Amino acid sequence: GDAVFSPDGKSIYFTTAVITEDPGNPLPGGPEFTTSLKQYFLASGKSRTIDFDAGTDFQLIDDISPNGRILALSSRYNVEGKIMFLNLESGKQWFFKSKRPASLASFSPDGKRIAFNSTSIPKYDIFVAKLKGTGLSESLAQRAVLEYA
């Protein structure tokens, strides 16, 4: 998975994934994973592990909130395009709820909103929304194209 520094620079977060197979399914829709998040502390050389819920394939760390409490992750294989948030203190996981496919999240400097990529082939859009998925902006990519024209 990807690696990102914590905002204070004292640790690095990265994901590890083990592909598991489903012997009862001869034509799987995609690989199944057991995924974990690792936090490596630079000063001590120690680490801690947060295991994701079973079947979670959110391996790509998109961003970490400015306060260092929430990670935004995307799936390498999920075609529905979802963003998973992980509270680093509690281990709670939840999904960004949007009417649009969403990936590649980036937190705003105050940590209250995210910008994200939404692709509906052949269209590529950028949106901004609150973490709960409310307050969805109009397509920023389309607006930029219209302003340029």
DSSP annotation of 91: -
Q: Look up the pTM and report it.
A: 0.75
- E strand or H helix that includes residue 99: none
Sign, Cα dihedral of 141, 144, 129, 8: positive
pLDDT digits (tens, 9 = 90+) for 109-123: 998 888 888 766 666
Q: What is the mean pLDDT of the chain?
A: 76
- Distance in angstroms (rounded) separating the CA atoms of residues 42 and 13: 11
pLDDT digits (tens, 9 = 90+) for 25-48: 444 555 566 778 899 999 999 999
